[in-house]
Amino acid sequence: MIKDETAPLEAVVLGTAMSLGGTPDLAHVYDPKSREHIIDGTFPKEEDLIRENEAFKAVLEKHHVKVYRPETLADTNQVYARDIGMVIDETFIMPNIIEDREHEKDGIAYLIDQVSPEDILVMPEGAHAEGGDVMPWKGRLFVGYSEEEDYQAYKVSRTNRAGLEFLEQHFSNYEVIGFELKKSDTDAKANALHLDCCFQPIGRDQCIIYKGGFKNLSDYEWLVAEFGADNCIEITQDEMYHMNSNVFSISPEVIVSEAGFDRLNTELERRGFTVERVPYTEISKMEGLFRCSTLPLKRSY
């Protein structure tokens, strides 16, 4: 059962960096930050990614979370488990994701086999959504998406209107609210790859938000009004680039955050959160962080 972003976590799929397949060539890159690091010769090494990813696993286990791993597929980047499936209520949704990453789904097939068939929802052709864009929160379903023009124009546009409408049809118990995101295939500072790259609810009624990630100012303003300005931690463009909104909630009180996010971590502690600091800078080079690395299966209510 998953109804929100922060209830105490019981079980999760954590992506793996094993058998990453080395540095991709530019023809096979699908986000601007990886692209930047390939060009600069700073694309992360598998051993460093594994070290960071295992440190995250240790923190999850310290908090008694059952951690499942994808089956390792040869030469496949499986770090970001978030995007390849999603759980809403008791339903496991198998979405249509970017073709370059479709193969990653094979790694979690063994887990999906354990879900009863009536709890599996397969997205129809033409509807696209990735888990990083989808967030249940207090009876609402926040969805980052692109309208057709952007969806066709950008590789980093991953959820389309048909995906949004599919969620609307199947989760009529939620009020589905779509937010168009700003996209760039070449400039990571001008790109909100997924909704969780510019926004995430935390605690019971707070959020982390980057204004510039929203294509329409009115969406950002709506969220700030909804959460209340005092309950929003606003982050800068640089903080967005370093993925400050992509922390991960183990519970309403405990947040996993990057060890070097000084301003954010201090602010979270000032607000009463327990911050579990994990070094994750190498993983951040591929335009994802903690939330992106996880696919929560069960939170307790």
Ligand X SMILES: NC(=O)NCCC[C@H](N)C(=O)O
d(CA 9, CA 21): 31
**Which CB atom, from 32 or from 172, has the smaller least distance to ligand X?**
32
- Smallest distance, Å, CB 292 to ligand X? 3
Q: Which residue, 91, 98, 139, is CA-closest to 112?
A: 91
Strand order from edge to edge, sheet including 66-68: 66-68, 9-14, 294-299
- Smallest distance, Å, CB 24 to ligand X? 10
Answer yes or no: are the C-beta atoms of 87 and 120 closer than 8 Å: no
- Smallest distance, Å, CB 212 to ligand X? 16
- Smallest distance, Å, CB 80 to ligand X? 4
**Which CB atom, from 82 or from 299, has the smaller least distance to ligand X?**
82
CA–CA distances in Å: residue 297 to residues 1, 55, 86, 87, 225: 7, 20, 8, 6, 30
Answer yes or no: are the C-beta atoms of 282 and 20 closer than 8 Å: no
Residue sitting closest to ligand X (CB): 132
| 76 φψ region: left (φ > 0), alpha (ψ -120 to 50), beta (else) | beta
Which residues bind to ligand X, rule: CB under 6 A? 30-31, 34, 80, 82-83, 101, 132, 193-194, 196-197, 286-288, 292
- Smallest distance, Å, CB 35 to ligand X? 10
| 49 Cβ contact list (under 8 Å, min separation 6) | 17, 20, 79, 282, 283
Which amino acid type is present at position 186? T
**Which CB atom, from 71 or from 102, has the smaller least distance to ligand X?**
102
- Smallest distance, Å, CB 270 to ligand X? 27
**Which CB atom, from 68 or from 271, has the smaller least distance to ligand X?**
68
Answer yes or no: are the C-beta atoms of 264 and 244 closer than 8 Å: yes
**Which CB atom, from 30 or from 174, has the smaller least distance to ligand X?**
30
262: exposed, middle or buried (Cβ count in 10 Å: 0-12, 13-18, 19+): exposed
**Which CB atom, from 46 or from 173, has the smaller least distance to ligand X?**
46
- Smallest distance, Å, CB 286 to ligand X? 5
**Which CB atom, from 264 or from 283, has the smaller least distance to ligand X?**
283
Token pair of 6 as six digits = 């922060």
Looking up tokens 């759980």 gives: 87
Answer yes or no: are the C-beta atoms of 2 and 11 closer than 8 Å: no
